[in-house]
Amino acid sequence: MEGSSVTLTCSSDANPAANYIWYKENINSLHLLSEGPQHVLRSIQTSDSGQYQCRAQNMLGTSFHWVTIDVNYAPRTPSVSVSPPGQIMEGSSVTLTCSSDANPAANYTWYKENINTVISTEQNFTITNVTTEHGGNYQCEVQNRVGRQITTKHLVVRAAVPLGTLELVVIGTSIAILLVVVDVSLIFLIRKKRSPRQVAEPGERPGYRSGRDGTWESEYTVVEYSGVKVNHSEPRPSNEVTDEDTAALYSTVKNHCS
C-alpha cells in the first residue's frame, strides 16, 4: 500500500558467507540501491514499483534473485471531459468521459443530481438526442479496494433555434446593414453638394470660368421653365434657389395651366 514501510530481506547458503547487493531495474539497466541482507523502503511511493534484484556473492561465485513490488493506491482526483466540446445543442449527441489514475484499476459509476439510481457503470457515458432536461450536474464516482473519489461536471444544453427563425435573423441583419450604407452615402453626397464654392484665384473673373479654348464662360445660372429663361444678374451657387426663381416658375406654371 502507498505510504507503508516495506523491508526486503535476502538470504543465501554460502561458505564463506556471502555479501549482498541490492539493485533496481531502470529501463533495461540496474541501479545500485544498497548493500546488506536487507533493503528498507520507508513510506513507499508509486515510483518504487518495479523489479528488484538481490545479488549474493563470495570468492567462489555469484547468484541473484528477482522480486516484484507493486504499489497500490486509491484513485486520484478524477477529471471529466465532454465530447464534442463547447455548447451542447438540443437534439445532438454528447459523451462524458471520466478518467482517474488508480492501482488497481478503478471502477466508474455515473449519477445525476438528485437521482440516487445509477445511470451508467462505464467510463464513457453517452447521451443521444439531447434535450434541455439532460442539463444539470453529473457525478462520476471512481473506486477501487484502496479508496474512492467523486467529481461533478455541469452540463449546459442550449435550445435549438428553428431554421426559419435563423434565416429571418440573417436576412434582417443584412437589410439593416444595407440601409445603414445607403444612409451614409446619401449624407456624404448632400454634404458634398452643400460645400461652399472655392474663392476665385487671382486673375479669375468672378462669375466666369475659364473654358478649354482660353475664353471665359459665364457661371451665371440660367433657369428654363417651358421655354422661359430666367437669367440671374449675379453669380451664385448652382444649388441656390431664390425668390425670383420661385416667382418665375409659379408665373410660368400658372400661364400654362390657364
d(CA 204, CA 207): 9
Lowest mean pLDDT among 20-29, 76-85, 105-114, 195-204: 195-204
Residue 15 is predicted with a pLDDT of 95
Q: Which of 87-96, 109-118, 190-199, 221-230 has the highest mean pLDDT?
A: 87-96
Residue 19 is predicted with a pLDDT of 97
The DSSP bridge partners found for residue 34 are 22
The DSSP bridge partners found for residue 41 are 6
What are the tens digits of pLDDT across the range 44-79?
999 999 999 999 999 999 999 999 999 999 999 999
Residue 256 is predicted with a pLDDT of 47
Residue 203 — pLDDT band, cuts 50, 70, 90? low
More confidently predicted of 181 and 230: 181
Q: Which three cell numbers stand for residue 72?
A: 497500490
Half-sphere exposure of 104 (CA within 13 A, CB side): 3
User: Residue 198 pLDDT > 50, yes or no?
Assistant: no
d(CA 228, CA 248): 9
Residue 116 — pLDDT band, cuts 50, 70, 90? confident
Total Cβ atoms within 10 A of residue 88: 20
Nearest to 125 by CA among 99, 149, 102, 90: 99
Residues 6+ away with beta carbon under 8 Å from 188: none
Per the CB < 8 A criterion, the answer to whether 206 and 200 are in contact is yes
Lowest mean pLDDT among 19-28, 72-81, 186-195: 186-195
User: Residue 212 pLDDT > 80, yes or no?
Assistant: no
Nearest to 77 by CA among 47, 98, 104: 98
Total Cβ atoms within 10 A of residue 200: 13
Beta strands in 59-162 (DSSP E): 61-69, 79-83, 88-89, 94-99, 107-112, 124-127, 136-143, 148-155, 157-158
Beta strands in the chain (DSSP E): 6-9, 19-25, 30-35, 38-41, 50-58, 61-69, 79-83, 88-89, 94-99, 107-112, 124-127, 136-143, 148-155, 157-158, 208-210, 216-218, 222-225, 228-231
Q: Which three cell numbers stand for residue 167?
A: 434565416
Lowest mean pLDDT among 26-30, 43-47, 191-195, 197-201: 197-201
Average pLDDT over the chain, rounded to an integer: 79
User: Residue 40 pLDDT > 70, yes or no?
Assistant: yes
Total Cβ atoms within 10 A of residue 6: 14
Residue 199 — pLDDT band, cuts 50, 70, 90? very low
Which sign, positive or negative, has the C-alpha torsion 236, 241, 247, 252?
positive
